[in-house]
Structure 1
Amino acid sequence: MSIEDPIETGLASGWQHVDGSTLTEPQHYQVDVVIVGSGAGGGVAAEILTQAGLSVMIIEAGPLKSSNSFNMEERRAYPNLYQQAASMKTKDKAIGIFQGRAVGGSTTVNWTTSIRTPRNALQYWASDKSIAGLSRDELDPWFEKMEQRLNIAKWDYEPNRNNMALRQGCEALGWEYTVIKRNVSGCWNTGYCGMGCPVNAKQSMLVTTIPSALNGGATLLSRVKVAKLEHQGDKITGLQAQALTESLTPSGVAVNVKAKHYLLSAGAIHTPALLMRSQVADPHQLLGKRTFLHPTLLSGAIFNDPINGHAGAPQSIYSDQFVWQDDADGELGYKLEVPPIHPILIASKTLGYGKSHAELMAKFNQLQVTIALVRDGYHPDSQGGQVQLTDHGFSLDYPLSDAFWRAARRAYASMAELQFAAGAQQVLPITEGAPYLSSWQQAKKVISELDLAPLKTIVASAHVMGGCPMGEDPKMAMVNSYGESHYYDNLSVMDGSIFPTSLGANPQLSIYGITARNATHLAQKLQPK
């Protein structure tokens, strides 16, 4: 059965798309709005601004791929669709970071989990971070709009065995759990969402808002990396970019864009890094600081029956039992989810080598994995990380604090308790020196004494937030609550970098909803009179 590829159909119909790797001469463009980045923020903004009658250009450093490029193979997907071939790490190499790098950004490769911004986060932003107009009552209409636009709905099918274990453990222990909403239409339930959807079921920006914007006359530049914003006084005056080769190295061909308005949606590492490279006004030295990752811990469990965690919707159940529970004593909470279980992903995120690693991988189909996403950014001892410019680009310095390690120990205990309650025969906290545990009683004692530390303990992240915070008080924010710069009349930011803390929830729907609100506001200001 052949699947129609909307990208190939659109290109054949005459979309304005320029692949930077084909450019041989310098290029100059002039548009109403130029958008840097094509992920959750850039994609939503592009559609709204194009529909308002504005001329829009989207610039993406990654390639334009489509379902015909997605063959469900990790060895191809990671180098083709992820930053640094899915091997990006923090400065000290203690945290692995997964971020998309292709048209559609991380929405092309995420696991489709769609959660509205938690009320607790929004209340904290309003009370402590000077954010206005973003209560849940004010945001819910925007979430509803984007849920309809992207077919976000509760996953009505039986969870795969990996997610089922999470549900069973919660039921046995009386813990809260929730059926996840997913942005899919006609999903084949293959379980390979992280490698690009081969049947165009995932309603990512790649197959929704970006085709819509291109059909409306927008221009897309792929394999073009923005190097710098030019500015004078309170105006951004131009954008300098470089064309990239097929292997995404600079070709030496310059691309320059002049626009009435400049919109950054390059994500929570690249938006702050671009602003820092451009030496924009930052009197309170906020750029790149308070970057949050939901640093994530893993717990493996061996079951008697096959788990086959590579098949079926990657995420369909989560538990918020511990996300906000520790607010009273100020400790860091954590969300419980499961990841898809694919060979390279798991082999690179587990421990051991030689015989011990081979033994674990031999049990691959019996392996269930639970993850704990630590909610960072609320505790005084949880200031997140800092994006820094280097000779080769950037680094993210993210020290793991004592508050994080306390949360990690509690999270390992919660995950082990849950996995045993779900029927696991053995549990293996993914940290150096942890043995296979055969009972909850043993787990409690061993986990309380584990030596947890950077590089010994596997920590990963797929959620990068912060670094260019929003708020009404310029002393703590770079942009206002509409994403508009406090210093430049024609500069806005719409992506996860504007979050002043982490969310305690997967971020894509928060970015969709807040961007829909802010881009609509911007469109009304810029619309031709």
Structure 2
Amino acid sequence: MHVIDSIDLHKLLTEKGLQVTQDPHKNAIKIKCDAVIVGSGCGGGVAAATLASSGLKVVVLEKGSYFGPADYSPFEGPSMEKLYELGGSLPSIDGQFAILAGSTVGGGSAVNWSACIKTPESVLKEWTDECKIPVFGSNEYVSAMDIVCERIGVTEDCEEEGFQNQVLCKGCKNLGFDIEKVPRNSSSRHYCGSCGFGCRRGDKKGTDKTWLVDAVNNGTVILTACKAEKFMLERNTTMISTRKMKCTGVIATTLNKNITKKLQIEAKVTISACGALHTPLLMYSSGLKNPNIGRNLRLHPVLMSWGYFPDSDSDIEGKAVDGGIITSVHKVLGPNNNVQAIIETPSLGPGQYTALCPWVSGLDFKQRMLKFSRTAHLITIVKDRGSGEVHMGGRVTYRFDATDRENLQAGLRRSLRVLVAAGAVEVGTHRSDGQKLKCKGVSKEELEEFLDTVFSVGGPLFGGDKWMVHTTAHQMGSCKMGRNEKDGGVDENGESWEAEGLYVCDASVLPTAIGVNPMITVMSTAYCLSKRIAAKIQNL
């Protein structure tokens, strides 16, 4: 909703059927609704549509802005600044991780790489049997995944693969490795390599094109450039509840300089869906103390390999930025056929590439950039056992698990083999010493010797002259579901153990890492939780 000043906001909200009053003593605008949702991404969008379809008055707060296909920029700089948290420059405290998180209407679904992978059965079994969260072993959840995939138009077909995915497929085929197609929430003709900066073709169906449209069509109001400050909590006098506090809404500020009053949104239920990095911060600022808040943060750590394919020496056509970003995946299997890592292809613009490239010399850097358009990157992603923490102020720390490093190493070495098998004339990693290998005339023994030098090493502050910056694929788990308040920050219905009427519907609630792109999992979880929330409101 676009507004100019407080009077304009009051008028427009009233026209939408909301009860709006002024509180001059608190310099606030009071808005009453059935449900207020903080965040419009994979969780918030689904929750908004589900609650609104039940006839509830819903208000969504989004601190980012709305962009349509015509508004997206083809350039990295403006895109990162407008669409990502802190302009895409959010590091962990020790500099070991570079973290990307969407910050726009649609959240991560507006800038992700379209991969639509259902929650693996092994993960569902883990969450059901070990974590004791029954919903993940239910027909309700299976049905939710089907509903979600249908709404966002998931297809498994891809008419033409881009340069990097051709490299992945060819290398795996030549080595006899299995390769799987990745379903996407776009048409089979989708050939856009810039969806990480917003889909300018309008083909990708994120929440901004699907669930949020459904929500608005059912009367939902979305307030953009509006940042939640804290939940409104009071003593709970309900005799039937064991929760000491009750949440009555949220206090927010708008980034519109013409609106100086705070927004006080009063609601029957309040839902935090602002992601695994921001949900803990909102809970901290509200005075919630559950020890699981902010902890158990999983990041899906990533390391990249690269291979150079000159036009004259390769039958693979295209450029590095051409084609669908992720259309194929290779699973690296360990003992007992357990998945150690997955190998996919990333979206990587020239600016991002320069940030990852090690500095060896000016000439080396110039040569790397001249080769950029025909340099294929492969990413190794692991289902991390290690975990991190979101601290006050948004600082992030992370503790690596030894097994995660071993799995990253296995995946990184496998990806280099795939690049060599696909015909790369040169391969390497982004280690600080410029680690690389010229492939022409290299024997099997020499290749093995090179691969034996490839490790997952620490970040720039860990000491030594050989270090790597790890990127991260996704954030989850920082307010996980649990059987009781010792096990989690919320219960199996997504409700806070401390405050009645306060729910979480985003990746924060996931008990562990997933090991694959989590969009379908987050949406399906939000669908199940919001269905339960709607039923509870209607029974009040």
Aligned residues: 497
Cross-structure match for 1:370? 378
| 1:71 CA drift (Å) | 2.6
The answer as to whether partners of 1:119 and 1:136 remain within 8 angstroms in 2 is no
Cross-structure match for 1:419? 419
Cross-structure match for 2:162? 160
Cross-structure match for 1:387? 390
Q: Note the 1:390-401 alignment, pairs <5 A.
A: 393-401=393-401
The answer as to whether partners of 1:115 and 1:506 remain within 8 angstroms in 2 is yes
Match of 1:351 among 358, 362, 371: 358
| 1:483 CA drift (Å) | 1.5
The answer as to whether partners of 1:409 and 1:447 remain within 8 angstroms in 2 is no
Cross-structure match for 1:277? 285
Alpha-carbon distance in structure 2 between the residues aligned to 1:17 and 1:315:
43
Alpha-carbon distance in structure 1 between the residues aligned to 2:137 and 2:336:
19
The answer as to whether partners of 1:471 and 1:477 remain within 8 angstroms in 2 is yes
TM-aligned CA distance change 1:521 to 1:441, over 3 Å: farther
Alpha-carbon distance in structure 2 between the residues aligned to 1:40 and 1:181:
17
TM-aligned CA distance change 1:434 to 1:199, over 3 Å: closer
The answer as to whether partners of 2:165 and 2:345 remain within 8 angstroms in 1 is yes
Question: Is 1:238 the equivalent of 2:238?
Answer: no
Identity over the aligned pairs, expressed in percent?
26
TM-aligned CA distance change 1:172 to 1:294, over 3 Å: same
Cross-structure match for 1:491? 502
Q: Note the 1:185-334 alignment, pairs <5 A.
A: 185=187, 188-232=190-234, 233=236, 234-245=245-256, 253-282=261-290, 285-304=291-310, 305=314, 307-322=318-333, 325-326=334-335, 333-334=340-341
Secondary structure class of the residue paired with 1:91: coil
TM-aligned CA distance change 1:43 to 1:319, over 3 Å: same
| 1:154 CA drift (Å) | 0.6
Secondary structure class of the residue paired with 2:269: strand
Q: Note the 1:35-184 alignment, pairs <5 A.
A: 35-135=37-137, 138-184=140-186
Alpha-carbon distance in structure 1 between the residues aligned to 2:476 and 2:398:
13
Deviates more, 1:34-43 or 1:203-212: 203-212
Alpha-carbon distance in structure 1 between the residues aligned to 2:318 and 2:388:
36
Larger gyration radius, structure 1 or structure 2: 2
Secondary structure class of the residue paired with 1:321: strand
Match of 2:453 among 449, 454, 457: 449
| 1:446 CA drift (Å) | 2.9
One-letter amino acid of the counterpart of residue 484, structure 2:
D
One-letter amino acid of the counterpart of residue 309, structure 2:
F
Alpha-carbon distance in structure 1 between the residues aligned to 2:415 and 2:273:
35
Question: Is 1:466 the equivalent of 2:460?
Answer: no
TM-aligned CA distance change 1:210 to 1:251, over 3 Å: same
Cross-structure match for 2:464? none
One-letter amino acid of the counterpart of residue 293, structure 1:
L
The answer as to whether partners of 2:158 and 2:327 remain within 8 angstroms in 1 is no
The answer as to whether partners of 2:158 and 2:190 remain within 8 angstroms in 1 is no
One-letter amino acid of the counterpart of residue 453, structure 1:
G
Cross-structure match for 1:10? none
The answer as to whether partners of 2:88 and 2:101 remain within 8 angstroms in 1 is yes
Deviates more, 1:227-236 or 1:87-96: 227-236
Alpha-carbon distance in structure 2 between the residues aligned to 1:53 and 1:186:
35
The answer as to whether partners of 2:329 and 2:342 remain within 8 angstroms in 1 is yes
Secondary structure class of the residue paired with 1:478: coil
Alpha-carbon distance in structure 1 between the residues aligned to 2:508 and 2:485:
16
Cross-structure match for 2:347? 340
Deviates more, 1:446-455 or 1:494-503: 446-455
Alpha-carbon distance in structure 2 between the residues aligned to 1:173 and 1:111:
26
One-letter amino acid of the counterpart of residue 285, structure 2:
R
Cross-structure match for 1:505? 516
Alpha-carbon distance in structure 2 between the residues aligned to 1:444 and 1:253:
65
Deviates more, 1:405-414 or 1:49-58: 405-414
Alpha-carbon distance in structure 2 between the residues aligned to 1:209 and 1:447:
46
| 1:286 CA drift (Å) | 0.9
Superposed CA offset, 1:209-261 (max 9, x none): 11221121111111111111121233113311111148xxx985411111100
Q: Give 5+ residue unaligned stretches, structure 2.
A: 3-11, 19-23, 237-244, 461-466
Deviates more, 1:174-183 or 1:286-295: 174-183
Superposed CA offset, 1:485-512 (max 9, x none): 2232211111111112110110101011
Q: Give 5+ residue unaligned stretches, structure 1.
A: 1-5, 8-12, 19-23
Cross-structure match for 2:402? 402
TM-aligned CA distance change 1:170 to 1:482, over 3 Å: farther
One-letter amino acid of the counterpart of residue 364, structure 1:
F
| 1:364 CA drift (Å) | 1.0
Secondary structure class of the residue paired with 1:427: strand
| 1:124 CA drift (Å) | 1.5
The answer as to whether partners of 2:160 and 2:191 remain within 8 angstroms in 1 is no
One-letter amino acid of the counterpart of residue 211, structure 1:
V
| 1:443 CA drift (Å) | 4.0
TM-aligned CA distance change 1:187 to 1:254, over 3 Å: farther
Deviates more, 1:53-62 or 1:129-138: 129-138
Alpha-carbon distance in structure 2 between the residues aligned to 1:410 and 1:434:
20
The answer as to whether partners of 1:223 and 1:243 remain within 8 angstroms in 2 is yes
| 1:16 CA drift (Å) | 5.7
CA-based RMSD of the aligned residues comes to 2.6
Secondary structure class of the residue paired with 1:292: coil
TM-aligned CA distance change 1:327 to 1:522, over 3 Å: farther
The answer as to whether partners of 1:260 and 1:490 remain within 8 angstroms in 2 is yes
Alpha-carbon distance in structure 2 between the residues aligned to 1:444 and 1:292:
32
Superposed CA offset, 1:160-202 (max 9, x none): 1210111122222222221111111485512110111112211
